[in-house]
Structures are given as structure tokens and as C-alpha cells.
Structure 1
Amino acid sequence: MSEMKKTLSLGQVVLFGLAYMTPIIVLGTFGVLAVITDGAVSGAYLAALIAMLFTAHSYGRMASAYPVAGSAYAYVRHAIDDRLGFIAGWAILLDYLFLPMVIWLIGAAYLNSAFPAIPQAVWLLAFIGVTTVINVLGLRLASLVNSVMMLVQVLVLVAFVGLAVHYVLGDASQPFWSLAPFLGAESSASLATLMAGAAVACYSFLGFDAVTTLTEETKDPQRNLPRAILLITLIGGLIFIVVSYFVQLAAPGTDFANPDAAAYDIARNIGGDIFVTVFLIGLIVGQFASGIAAQASGARLIYAMGRDDVLPKRWLGRLGRFGTPIGGLVLSGLVALLALTMDVLSAASFINFGAFLAFALVNAAVICHYYLKERRRGGLDTLWFLACPLIGLVAILWLMASLDPLAVTLGSIWLACGLAWLTWLTRGFSRPTPELHLDG
């Protein structure tokens, strides 16, 4: 079997990670965060960035120790325990399975704001149906198309910020520099409020670890991947903070007709009817492309797990006539129907529960691998392999506790189902824990 060529530089890996994160999502969730934080969206992103940097550091350390596919699952399995590794994989499955739902829900909310005569459920069903059909037929988006879609998003994002700055400069009553986007209206945001916002803001960071799948194609991966993961998190976080800062200045209130699609009204206010159309096109293009990729990736993971008999092989472990995992694609579409009864806040928070669980286990994996097993306990080693991951672990658990109560309930049910399924697969833990091949 031929090996993949190591052709990707550090810069190319960073660009891949930023594209995967879809930077325009900062506008997609702006209204929800503004309401939660009482106008301190930038503060929520700053808190999220600080917490995510510690976790990104842990991912980088584990990517260096175990340069293999599988990310959180592989790290926890190797560093701690097979069963906890399975739970990490189960948490990853939650993200893959439900992420398309959130993406389509955000897109549907914005289209509903633009065309209120058409119910949001119609747009949601259209997203699910069209994307599922495309993926079933096996359409592969070429890298050029993805690059064009990324370029559209970046241009719209830059234009949005530029118009927001122009709008603020044209309003003599509005200061250009202000702490309000960080502290809330009249400095009213409490630490608990900021953390609640940060728990949702972390949704924008999902995907920073996706570059671990490029291990075999990256030059000097043990050195470049840890650096790339930190750079992706830092650059992405700074983009989110800067964009939300100027948008918050242009729209300092929290009284939105529809918080799920607040950026649509803000775009109209700062740029008029023409720009709001451009903005809507850019956001929908981003959500559509992201939805195709998320559903395809999730279905691929489900197929891999079905093929390995971790999930029912008869329905999920076989390919269809077009060579695509139809079972996983259909399951993803059916799961997305839950969005008919959810809003963006609950849906995004639910996704974050799975991510936070995996992040917490990766932080723990660093301590187990380096500090306990390898006994690296010198001065700097204690900082890197005990203090930093411990801070990351505490921060992630704090964020998890700050999630929407419904999300915590649903996430706990998902975790309980995973434990029950693992118990059944191992016949009460009398058999070895099944190994997941998350590289598909």
C-alpha cells in the first residue's frame, strides 16, 4: 500500500483548518450571543478563546505523541483507557451526527427572515433534502469550488466589518473604542453571563482539530501539527473577536426581531437592501457548502462504525449503488428533523456538549500520557503537561456546566446511551472494547 506524500506546509494546514471552521459563522450566531451576554459578544469570544487555547495546546501535544487518525478517540484510547476512548468516539459521533442539523437550522433561520411568507420549516426541509440527495449521488466538491466558496465568505465578512466601521464612524454619538462589546451594556455582564455566552461561542471554534486528519500529508507533522492547531485557534478567535466587536458597536442593543437571524437586520441597517442580499447569499453559500461537507463526513464516520460492527452493519455498514453510505446520509437527514422543534441556541449548545466532553478527555489524556506514564515532571514539563491541561480541563468543565439546561439534559441522555451501548457490545464488559476506525 503506497503512502501519502507529505506535501502540506504549516501555512497550508492552517488555511485548511480556518476554512473548516467557516469564519462567517460569527455572523450566523451573533444575535443569539448578544441576547445571552447582554451585548458582550466580544467578551464571550475572548473567554472562549482563552479556554480553547489550553485545549488546543493539549490537542497539539497529543498529535505529536500519537500522529494517527482518529483525533480525540485515538488519544484517549492510547493514553488512558479503551472504554473512555469509546466514550470520546461516542462524543465525536454526536458532533458529526448533529452538526448538519445546526448548520441547516442557521441557514433556514436567515432565509425565513428574508422571506417570512415561507415557513422556516420549509427552508429546513429543503436544506435537508437537497444536501442529502447531492451526497447520495456522490457529488464531490472540488477543491477549487471549496476555495471559491471560502473566498465568497471572506469577502462578505470583510465587507460586513467595513460597513460596520463606516456606520460607527458616521454616528457621532457612538464611540469607536469601547469596552461595551466585552463587558456588556453599561458593564452589566457578569462572569456567569460571559461564561454562558462563551459556552455557545465555542460552537464557532469547532473544527480547529480537523487538521489532525492530515497527519500523513503534512511535512514534519510532529512539529507542524501542534503549531497549526494553536495558530488556527488563535487566528480564528481573533477573527471572531474583531468581527463581533465592530458589529456590536454598529448594533449595540439586544432587541432583535429574530435573534437567530439578527445579522440579517444589521446588514440591512448598515448596508441597505443591496448589501443585505449579498450578505444573505454569502451566508447561505457558506452554510450550504458546510452542510454538504458535514453531512458527508458524518455519514462516512457512521459507515466506518457500521462496517466495524460498532453500529448496526446491516443498515449503516453498507454502501449504496453510487458508492456512498446511504444509511448514514439518511440517518443524518432524519436526525436533522429534530431542528423543527429546536432553536439555534439549544441546537448549538447540544453540539457543544459532545465537543466539550471530547475536549475534557483530551486534556486528561495529556496528563495521563506525559505526566503520569512518561513521568515528565521537570519545571517546564510540569507547566506544559500538568498545569496547562488541568486549566484546560477545568475551563471546559465550567463551559459545559454553563450550557443551556436542555442541551445538558439531551447531552447527558446521549452519554447514557453511549454507556448502555458499550455495555451491550462488551456483554457487560466481559469482552474487549470494540475499536473504532474513525479514519473511515
Structure 2
Amino acid sequence: MAAKAEADSLKRVFGLTALVIYGVGDILGAGIYAIVGKIAGLSGADVWISFSVAMTVAALTALSYAELGTRFPKSGGVAYFVQKAFRAEWLSLLVGWLMLCTCLVSMATLSKAFSGYLAAFAPTVPHAVIVVGLFLSLGLVNFWGMRESSGLNIFCTTLEVSGLCLVIFVSAIYLTGGGGATPGDLVPGASIPPGEGLGWTPILQGAALAFYAFIGFEDIVNVSEEVKDPERNVPRAILLALGIAGIVYIIVSWLAVRVVSPAELAASNAPLLDVVRRAQPNFPPLAFTIIALFAVLNTTLLNFITASRLLFGMSREGILPAWLGKLHPQRSTPYRTIFVILPMVTYLALSGTLLYLAGTTATLILAMFCLVNISLIVIKRREPRDWGFRIHGLIPWIAFISNIALAAFASRESHILAAVLTGLGGLLVWITLVLRGKHSQNPR
């Protein structure tokens, strides 16, 4: 019998429904569990407006992703789009580095949230012990190998969404019964409507942080090669997933600051757990904590897997030492990258605050989204078309400007760390290209 030929393309398994669930699961999850309290500390009762602004900015770039995803239904995401637009190796390599940094800083952010929820039941365990134990455990899982399926993603999404639905349900019952924070607690000092008193600055500062919770819609493009009828289903799934997640975020955040005051949420290490405790004291807090921990744990693991594969790929491309591009002989996993990542994320987690790390992640993502929008502008001018999904030429420009404007409201510390990481990536890319040039001039 003849040997079975190796497949030359990925199997198209995602229909629209499965793809939307995949996208919602990628967006929903750890973000809202981790940072809703910190956003409330910035924008008070207007936290829901901060989420609305962040969703609007994300939707503009989502439209750019939708057109790019139908033009180039390939895996690769930002780096692929940048390469198609500018055909500049150094820029594609730098984007790969920024994607890696985003994963690492996001992992550090999520470890803070994980520690906060776990500390609610184990307050005597030091934060450092929780962080180190978390990363070592995930490192072991990453080393051992993991096969993901659409069914597992649906299960994870269902569990994460159930926690947010629980927050909505118990909060609504509590508020209709006459409970809730007093009006004077909704904004520090007084109840101040948007545009008056405190003004829009704190709302936009909150939006810059809230953007972290919307990360994930861009990953839908990365599975385009596995989608049935990608020209129709990819743009629909991106916008539907973002809209569903955004509506859930707005409802949860609006209710949260009316059950627990923004000041209390900002000071909490487990904000949504505090909301459930206040709204329904008889509900077993351990049950909600397990849901929150699972949501954070799952997202952290996915970031860890992505980061290890990015390091592995960058090594194979010659950007990083070849030593990192080795697979374990039995497990077939990039085990050396895991050992490199562990001390890096541990240092970030132990040296930065939740607000600082989440802000840096959002800043890095906004920078990459700027490149996505500019890439679409270039591609539309060079390769115009009058068929398929396409957006008005002004939209990527508006998205680009809104990304820059929102990033400007992130904290100064987040700007500094993002700039340092970008500069380090630029240096690594420059060294790599110089060494490649010398090697080509002096072949063995």
C-alpha cells in the first residue's frame, strides 16, 4: 500500500459559529477579571464609558484586520501583514519581537491577578511563592506538550463566561433589591457626570488600560487557513466576537461599581470576587474563585505557549542564538525557550504592579495595531480591489490616529517599559542583520 501523502494545507474546520466562539473565548477571560478594579480607580462610575471607548478603538482596527484577513487568509498575523506591505525584513523581525514582549508582559500581568484571587483564600502564602509556583507549573505543562481542540476552547469559554454571567445575575438582583454603593461613592468626592468636574482625562486613562481586556480578536486572523469560506466568515467573526465581549464588559463594569465603590474595587486584588461577595453573601466564594483562577490560568498558559513558540521561531530565523531552536527529543517541545522565559516573566511579575504591567501590554498592542493599519493603507493603495470585504480608505487612518491617541493616555511608566523593550528589539534586529551581512560576505 502506498504511503499516505503529507497534507499540504491546514484542514478547514471552523464555521462561523465555532469561529465566533473561538474569538469570544480569546477576548473574554483574564482581562476583565484582572483589571476592572484598576480601571474603576481611574474613571470611577464612568468605568463603563472607558470600556466603551476601548471597544470603539478596538473595533476600528478590527475592521482593518477583517479586510487584511480576507485579502491574505494566512497564518502569521501582524508580521505577515507588515511583510506584505513594506517588504522590509527588519520591520517584520521587530514586530515578531514586540509580539513576544506582549506575551511576556501579559503573563506577568496575569500572574498578579492569579495571586490576588488565590490570596483571598490563602492570605499567608507570599506573593512571590504563588508567582514562582504558577510559572513553574505552567512551564511543566508547556514542556510536556498540549493538544488544543475546538471542543476544549468551547469548554474554557463556557466556564469563563459563566463567571461573568454570575456577576451580572447576582449584581442585578442585589441592585433591584435596593442595595448598592451610595451615589457619592461612585466618583471620588462626588457623583460627577462625564465631561464635568473630573473631565474626560480619567475616562481615557481608564480606556487605555481597558484596551488590555480586548486583546484577542486579532488571533481570529491567525486561523484563517482553517476557516470555511474565510472571505465571509473571518470579518463577521471578528466583529461579532468583539461586539459580544464588549457588551459583556460594559454590563459587568457598570454593575460592579454600583455594588462595590470604585475606591474599594481599585484597592482589591480580587475585584469581581468582592462584587459577588457583596451582592450575594450566601454564594460560596470558593466556587467563583475557582472560575476566576481557571480563566486567568488558561490565558496565562496560552501566552506561555505562544511566547515559547515565538522564541523558537526567532531562533530558527537567526534573530536569537541557535541554541534556543532545539526541540526536546522525546516531547518535541521547545524546552530551552521555557527555561529562558521563566526568569524573565518572574522578574517582571515581581518588579511591576498590575496597573503598570497591564498598561505596558496595552501600549505594545496599540503600537502593533498602528502598524496593522498603516499596512492596510499601503496595501490598499498598491493593490486596490472592488470585490470581497473592504472598508473605506479613511477607516484605517482613523484607527491609526485613535490608537496613538489612546496609547498617549497610558501611564508614563508603561511608556518607558514599552520604549525600552522596543529599543532592545531594535538592537537585536540590527545585530542580527549585521551578522547576516558579514556571513554573506565571508561564506565558508
Calculate the TM-score normalised by the size of structure 1. Answer: 0.89
Count of residues in Structure 1 that have an aligned counterpart in Structure 2? 425
Map residues 71-86 of structure 1 onto 2, 5 A cutoff: 71-82=77-88, 83-86=90-93
Q: Answer whether contact 2:143 2:335 (CA < 8 A) is retained.
A: yes
Find the counterpart in structure 2 of residue 222 from structure 1: 231
Q: Write the distance in 2 (CA, Å) between the matches of 1:155 and 1:148.
A: 11
Matches within 5 A, 1:33-432: 33-82=39-88, 83-140=90-147, 143-171=150-178, 185-187=192-194, 188-256=197-265, 258-272=267-281, 274-319=283-328, 321-337=330-346, 338-370=348-380, 372-374=381-383, 384-427=391-434
With over 3 angstroms needed to count, the CA separation of the structure-2 counterparts of 1:222 and 1:167, relative to structure 1, is same
Q: Write out per-residue CA displacement over residues 107-154 of structure 1, whole angstroms, 9 at most, x where no aligned residue.
A: 112212332222222211111111111211224456544433332222
Change beyond 3 A, Cα 1:147–1:403: same
The DSSP-based 3-state class of the residue aligned with 2:118 is helix
C-alpha separation between the residues in 1 aligned to 2:41 and 2:126? Answer: 23
Give 1:58 shift. Answer: 0.6
Q: Does the C-alpha gap of structure 1 residues 79 and 285 become closer, same or farther in structure 2, counting only changes over 3 Å? A: same
Deviations 1:62-108 (A, max 9, x none): 11222211111111111124133333222212122332222222111
Alignment partner of 1:5 is 2:15: no
Letter in 1 for 2:414: A
C-alpha distance 173-23 of structure 1, shift in aligned 2 (>3 A): closer
Report the aligned-residue RMSD: 2.8
Structure 2: state its 5+ residue gaps.
Answer: 1-6, 440-444
> What is the match of residue 14 of structure 1?
20
Q: Please tell me whether the aligned partners of residues 22 and 150 of structure 2 are also in contact (alpha carbons under 8 angstroms).
A: no
Do the aligned partners of residues 173 and 149 (structure 1) sit closer, same or farther apart at CA in structure 2, a change above 3 Å counting? closer
* Per-residue deviation, residues 321-379 of structure 1 (Å, max 9, x unmatched): 42111122222222221211211111111111221111000111111110x213579xx
Q: Which amino acid aligns with 2:72?
A: Y
Output the CA distance in 2 between the equivalents of 1:190 and 1:356. 24
CA distance in 1, matches of 2:362, 2:218: 14
Q: Which runs of 5+ in 1 are unaligned?
A: 433-440
Where does residue 4 of structure 2 map in the other structure?
A: none
Could you tell me which amino acid in structure 2 is paired with residue 107 of structure 1?
A: F
Query: Equivalent residue for 1:437?
Result: none
Inter-CA distance 72–173: structure 2 relative to 1 (3 Å threshold): closer
**8 Å Cα contact 1:34/1:254 also seen in 2:** yes
SS at match of 1:68: coil
2:39 counterpart letter in structure 1: L
Q: How far does residue 238 in structure 1 lie from its aligned partner after superposition?
A: 1.2
User: Counterpart of 2:28 in structure 1: which amino acid?
Assistant: T
Give, in whole Å, the separation in 2 of the partners of 1:66 and 1:424. 31
Match of 1:438 in 2: none
- Contact 1:55/1:389 (CA < 8 Å) preserved in 2? yes
Tell me the amino acid that sits aligned with residue 65 of structure 1.
R
C-alpha distance 189-251 of structure 1, shift in aligned 2 (>3 A): farther
Any idea what SS the aligned residue of 1:208 has? Answer: coil
Deviates more, 1:45-54 or 1:215-224: 215-224
1:435 matched residue in structure 2 = none
* Cα deviation 1:161-186 (Å, max 9, x = unaligned): 1000011111178799xx98xx9755
Amino acid at match of 1:37: S
Q: TM-score, normalized by length of structure 2?
A: 0.88
Q: In 2, are the aligned partners of 1:423 and 1:429 still within 8 Å (CA)?
A: no
Q: Distance in 2 between matches of 1:86 and 1:112?
A: 39
Question: Aligned equivalents of 2:70 and 2:266: distance in 1?
Answer: 47
Task: Give the secondary-structure state (helix, strand or coil) at the position aligned to 1:40.
Answer: helix
Deviation at 1:431, TM superposition (A): 8.2
Structure-2 separation of matches of 1:97 and 1:365:
25
Partner SS for 2:281: helix
Q: Is the 8 A contact 2:29 2:295 kept in 1?
A: no
Cα distance change, pair 431–227 in 1 and its aligned pair in 2 (3 A): farther
Question: Aligned in 2, Cα 1:161/1:317: closer, same or farther, shift over 3 Å?
Answer: same
User: Does the 8 Å contact 2:21/2:154 carry over to 1?
Assistant: no
> What is the CA–CA distance in structure 1 between the aligned matches of 2:117 and 2:413, rounded to whole Å?
23
CA distance in 1, matches of 2:417, 2:365: 14
Partner-residue secondary structure (3-state), 1:165: helix
Residues in 2 aligned to 1:107 and 1:303: alpha-carbon distance in whole angstroms: 27
For 1:66, the aligned partner's letter is F
Are 2:29 and 2:299, in contact at CA under 8 Å, matched by a contact in 1? Answer: no
CA distance in 2, matches of 1:122, 1:138: 24
- For the 8 Å contact 1:156–1:278, the answer to whether it is kept is no
